[in-house]
Structure 1
Amino acid sequence: MTSTASRPAETAETWLPEPPVLHSPWHTPARAALMEQARRFAMDEVLPVANELDPQKGEIPQHLLERLGELGWFGITVPAVDGGLGLGVFEYCMVSEELARAWMSVASILARSQGMGTAVADPDRHRELLRRSAGGSWIGAVALSEPEAGSDLANVQTRAVLDGDEWVVTGHKRWCGNAKAADFIQVLVRVADPQPGESRSRGLRNLLLVKERGSFPPGLSGYAIDKVGYHGFLTWDLTFDQVRIPATDLIVGPGEGGGSDSSGDSGAGFREAQAFLNTARVHTAARAVGLARAAVEDCVRYLQERVQFGHPIGDFQALRFALADMAAEVEQARAFYRQVAHLLDEGVPCEKEAAMVKLQATEMAVRVTNQAMQLHGGNGYTTERQVERHWRDARLTTIFEGTSEIQKRIISNRMLPRSPLS
């Protein structure tokens, strides 16, 4: 396996790229300081770990998770009164871009906290879980997708039935990242069937399956899906066979009670999933920008190092212009995701904009990382250089949190009414 020792030219100790320009309508000194802190941490602490473990398909080590907790980044969006940083989606995405520049999985693990899995009916327990979330001791997983319900979440078939004071869950979930290593799994289930003429999303709820890290509770089994990239944590295919969850472990909305009185709610789980996905899509755009920026920065160095025909290949206009196009695309996508993150922080409904930035940034990342491999020539097609990792991870961003085709559907549906015949 390739180790950091075989890539001395690309380690953070020998080279640190210039930070991206933050000056914008949203610039503040505090944000600039946070970005610089995240950038230093990513290059000094995350990148060496990524270079060592990603070729081995290794998981994020515990010491790195603890460092993220010490920095407060599991609670960027958690209120300060509950132990978080009390910041917004903007800062959450900004830090995630910096982390993704080193290893996308580390940026992704932040999404498994940020107050996720804390919306329970008991206010005291809710506050306790928020504090744990902010400190990094309440890191979860989300079980939304199924073999026949990926982008079509209204088709979820995993069923939960009340038996006394417990939900009994049976079904099949897929693409559940971090499931075994998590402290909890938030599971989208069907608790009631829609009546004729009602939305298919009726009767969907989210349940909170509390578990021990590193194991599955009785009735839950699964296997890790072997992926092309996105290493750092395992992604699971899960089977629920009468898994029991306390009735009180129901994810609730504002002013809603828990337990059996909420079983007939008309699609609360689907609405919660949609709200989650709006932020997740902007977060994915930020991660895609981080990956593409990594490819650009690696190319800047490589084009100066690689000599052909007596010149660094960076002297050749064709390659210089390719690099310029790549850099311009990254800057465009960064400006767009920050604009949409700002809108989310302002409470502006922006499902269309979130879909747009997810579409634009992720497709950009695939183009840019692909071009970066080309600029590296044969060296780009080896595991000796980081650029192949950027490309493998970028390729996934056009698929998860809704494929590019789903984003186009969301956007076009907001722009054009559908014909009654369609």
Structure 2
Amino acid sequence: MLAPPVPVVADPFHTPEREELQATARRFVEDRVLPVADELDKVKGEIPRSLLDEMGGLGYFGITIPREDGGLGLGAFEYCMIAEELARGWMSVGSIIARAQGAGTGVDDPGRRAELLRRSAAGTWIGAIALSEPDAGSDLAAVATRAVREGDEFVITGRKRWIGNAKAADFLQVLVRTADPEPGERRSAGLATLVVEKERDSFPEGLTGSPIDKIGYHGFVTWDLEFDGVRVPAANLLGEQGFSDAQKWLNVARVHTAARAVGLARGAVEDCIVYLQQREQFEHPIADFQAVRFRLATMAARVEQARSFYQHVAHRLDQGEPCEREAAMVKLLATEMAAEVTGEGIQLHGGNGYTTEHRVERYWRDARLTTIFEGTSEIQQKIVADRLLPRSPLG
């Protein structure tokens, strides 16, 4: 007697619209992103402006911007889904879309805000986010860059570090300290966000920068910035809850990072499937050897697990849930998975994996960074643990 058939359960997140959106992104990556990445990553080149313009035409800079403002009017789910596809080609392409999505548009003037939203959606208002400093990375409450009010302007003085796309950007969104905390207040009190508008490929008066030479994450330049009396209109103050605003933004950013990590790991798995069937040893494709097959199977299973988790958290974000704990969990799980799976991909390529002749080394270099930015794995563990285990008064 046969066992009853296993019921087929439809993917609860699948819709025809999402399927079409994903298919378009996959074709774009295969036809346009991968050839550019293969050429430019080796020489630490930047994403060509022409490619950014194509992404703007596809709506990728306005995925979460309302349709009435020129965007696609979609949610965190679609934003992360497209980011996974783009990162499978080149992580920086999956990252650059986060520099738009309406960032830097929270000004009070409705007309100006509408203009910037349209520009953001079209990919002509792409920014850079300046949060970290030499002594304030994981500990953003320690931000020391100062903004002093002088009439209708703020004057910014200080130093920011790890600012990707800073020179090429149309604006910088800068976390600054406008006041010192009062006795008994949290250290994060007095932080605010200012938008520094600028010309592309240049810095405004009072701002200088030095490129940071990285081992990966090429496609845009990462900068160490020095603010020395940079003047910004007071109207460019986005809010005086800079720390809490940054924390809310980081929830989505961490799920976005999980999606990018899945894209990188998926790239390693897909490339290994091809390579293992082509590479022959002992008169057989190495895909015939059980040890290799089992290793690949485990890699693929871990990618699917992480994808399901980030989709679940993205869906909950779209339902209006804060998901701070879950965002930290999925960022931790997916990025550690990606670092390990891409490393396994190098191993399955053997000596060829340790060359720049195959993409798997690029996926590994970029995946290693995902465990660090948007909060290190250790910071994610702290966030999760603090919500599971409240500290005792003596802790």
Do the structures match in fold with TM over 0.5? yes
SS of structure 2 residue aligned to 1:196: coil
Could you tell me how far apart the structure 1 residues matched to 2:126 and 2:329 are? Answer: 29
Show the 5 A alignment for 1:83-122: 83-122=70-109
2:182 aligns with 195
Number of residues of Structure 1 aligned to a counterpart in Structure 2: 387
Residues 1:35 and 2:35 are matched in the alignment: no
- What amino acid does structure 1 have at the position aligned with 2:183? P
- 1:324 matches 2:297: yes
- 3-state DSSP of counterpart to 1:59: coil
Q: Which structure 2 residue ranges, 5 or more long, are not aligned?
A: 1-8
Matched, 1:272 2:245: yes
* 1:60-97 residue CA offsets vs partner (Å, 9 max, x unmatched): 00110000010011000000000000000000000010
Per-residue CA deviation, residues 2-36 of structure 1 (Å, 9 max, x unaligned), is: xxxxxxxxxxxxxxxxxxxx951111000000000
Question: What residue is the counterpart of 1:162 in the other structure?
Answer: 149
Match of 1:335 in 2: 308
Q: Distance in 1 between matches of 2:10 and 2:206?
A: 52
Of 36, 60, 65, which aligns to 2:52?
65
CA distance in 2, matches of 1:118, 1:349: 22
The answer to whether the Cα contact below 8 Å between 2:251 and 2:322 also exists between their aligned partners in 1 is no
Percent identical residues = 70
- 2:230 corresponds, among 243, 253, 259, to 243
**1:81 and 2:71 equivalent?**
no
Residue equivalent to 2:370? 397
d(CA) in 2 for partners of 1:206 and 1:51?
Answer: 37
Query: In the aligned structure 2, how far is the partner of 1:23 from the partner of 1:293?
Result: 22
Residue type at the aligned position of 2:61: F
What does 1:179-218 correspond to in 2, within 5 Å? Answer: 179-218=166-205
Give the structure 2 partner of residue 173 of structure 1: 160
Deviations 1:343-365 (A, max 9, x none): 00000120000000000000000
Aligned position for 1:344: 317
Cα deviations by residue, 1:242-263 (Å, 9 ceiling, x for unpaired): 11001111113xxxxxxxxxxx
Q: Please, which runs of 5 or more residues in structure 1 have no aligned partner? A: 1-21, 253-264
Q: For structure 1, which segment, 278-287 or 117-126, has the greater mean C-alpha deviation from structure 2 after superposition?
A: 117-126
AA aligned to 1:334 is R
TM-score by length of 1: 0.91
* Structure 1 moving runs of 4+ over 6 Å: none
Q: Which residue of 2 aligns with 1:256?
A: none
The answer for the alignment partner of 1:222 in structure 2 is 209
User: What is the one-letter code of the residue matched to 2:54?
Assistant: R
Q: TM-score w.r.t. structure 2 length?
A: 0.97
- CA-CA distance at 1:164 after TM superposition: 1.1
CA distance in 2, matches of 1:344, 1:125: 28
* Partner of residue 46, structure 1: 33
Aligned to 2:3: none
Measure how far apart 1:199 and its partner are.
0.5
3-state SS of paired residue (1:240)? strand
Describe the SS at the equivalent of 1:76.
coil
Query: Does the aligned pair in 1 maintain the 2:158–2:227 contact within 8 Å?
Result: yes
Equivalent position SS for 2:102: coil
SS of the aligned residue for 1:215 comes to coil
**Distance (whole Å) between structure 2 residues aligned to residue 72 and residue 82 of structure 1:** 12
Partner residue of 2:389?
416
The separation in 2 between residues aligned to 1:198 and 1:23, in whole angstroms, is 50
Residue-by-residue CA offset, 1:283-331 (whole Å, 9 max, x unaligned): 0000000000000000000100000000000000000000000000000
Matches of 2:174 and 2:182, distance apart in 1: 23
Q: Which amino acid aligns with 1:46?
A: V
Aligned to 2:254: 281
Which amino acid in the other structure matches residue 387 of structure 1?
A: V
**1:123 alignment partner, one of 104, 110, 114:** 110
Matched, 1:356 2:343: no
Partners of 1:249 and 1:220 in 2: CA distance? 17
Q: Match for 1:320: what amino acid?
A: R
How far 1:421 sits from its partner (Å)? 2.3
- The alignment partner of 2:332 has SS state of helix
- Stretch moving more, 391-400 or 115-124: 115-124
Larger displacement relative to structure 2 (222-231 or 120-129): 120-129
RMSD: 0.9
Partner of 1:152: 139
Q: How far did 1:146 drift?
A: 0.4
- Between the aligned partners of 1:187 and 1:23, the Cα distance in structure 2 is 44
2:344 to 371, 393, 399: 371
Q: Which amino acid is the alignment partner of residue 21 of structure 2?
A: L
Amino acid at match of 2:224: D
Cα shift at 1:397? 0.1
Deviation at 1:367, TM superposition (A): 0.7
Deviation readout 1:400-420 (Å, 9 max, x if unpaired): 000000000000000111122
**Partner Cα distance (2:393, 2:109) in 1:** 45
